[in-house]
Homo-oligomer: A and B are copies of this chain.
């Protein structure tokens, strides 16, 4: 394990959790705390992170990752959701996933797990490209400006060829009456396809999406098996979602 390799691992860990602990890193990488502190110094020098007592935290999520993956509000919450999802995904699973920032957070945590990921989002594919364990299938299709998602008949046809253990759907709204929804028809169409091909459906969304309805409806709540969200979720809404038969996982932040 050479220095640059450690740097890489530290940055990866940082992308996953947003905050890293010196002791933990020392154990994980098999070096002393002194070395970790020196590494963190070097990485701070290069602007990749900010030192804190006991560890370090990610610098403002603008440029912390390759290929300007769009980040946004509720980054901390999304990270927690991502970690929770990764912990729940079994080794070897075949996962279909849409684009979206919350899904991306989960994908970051899946690096290093041996799973098969089928996706129509090229930023998801890009994120997993360096991983040796993960097998990635890209649907193909016409690239939508800004959202990094592939749509159209090519995407549809490819998706139809796969059976998924799990569909990981990022949404812009989740509502008792109207189910899950998103902003554009093309994305909703892709999400619905994932759902029709999957054995189980997990929705990932930060708490701000609860109770909202976005213009393009994807599917009713009955199609969804599990919602992974953050502790900001309103207790009343949670109770009603659970009453509707949804398993709600609240990620500890």
A positions within 8 Å CB-CB of B: 1-5, 8, 16-19, 21-22, 46, 52-55, 57, 62-63, 66-67, 122-123, 125-126, 128-132, 135-143, 145-146, 148, 150, 154-155, 158, 161
Q: For A53, what are the chain B residues with a Cβ–Cβ distance below 8 Å?
A: 2-3
Q: For A129, what are the chain B residues with a Cβ–Cβ distance below 8 Å?
A: 122, 143, 145-146, 148
Question: How many Å from the CB of A68 to the closest CB on chain B?
Answer: 9
Q: A122 with B141: in contact, given A19-B4, A55-B2 (CB under 8 Å)? A: no
Are the CB atoms of A21 and B5 closer together than 8 Å?
A: yes
Q: For A63, what are the chain B residues with a Cβ–Cβ distance below 8 Å?
A: 66
Are the CB atoms of A140 and B143 closer together than 8 Å?
A: no
Given contacts A46-B67, A125-B143, A129-B145, 7 further A-B contacts (CB under 8 A): A2-B21, A122-B125, A123-B126, A126-B126, A130-B146, A137-B143, A140-B158
Q: For A21, what are the chain B residues with a Cβ–Cβ distance below 8 Å?
A: 1-2, 5
Q: 9 closest pairs, A vs B, by CB? A: A140-B140, A2-B54, A136-B143, A122-B122, A5-B19, A2-B55, A4-B57, A139-B140, A4-B52
Q: For A5, what are the chain B residues with a Cβ–Cβ distance below 8 Å?
A: 19, 21, 55
Are the CB atoms of A130 and B143 closer together than 8 Å?
A: no
Q: For A52, what are the chain B residues with a Cβ–Cβ distance below 8 Å?
A: 2-4
Q: For A136, what are the chain B residues with a Cβ–Cβ distance below 8 Å?
A: 142-143
Across the interface, A132 reaches (CB within 8 A) one of B16, B54, B138, B150, namely B16
Are the CB atoms of A143 and B154 closer together than 8 Å?
A: no
Complex CA distance for A145 and B138, rounded to whole angstroms: 13
Are the CB atoms of A145 and B126 closer together than 8 Å?
A: no
Q: Which of A2, A22, A52, A148 has the most CB of B within 10 A?
A: A2
Q: For A55, what are the chain B residues with a Cβ–Cβ distance below 8 Å?
A: 2, 4-5
Are the CB atoms of A126 and B67 closer together than 8 Å?
A: yes
Question: How many Å from the CB of A106 to the closest CB on chain B?
Answer: 18
Q: A141 with B137: in contact, given A2-B53, A3-B53 (CB under 8 Å)? A: yes
Complex CA distance for A192 and B131, rounded to whole angstroms: 27
Question: How many Å from the CB of A218 to the closest CB on chain B?
Answer: 22
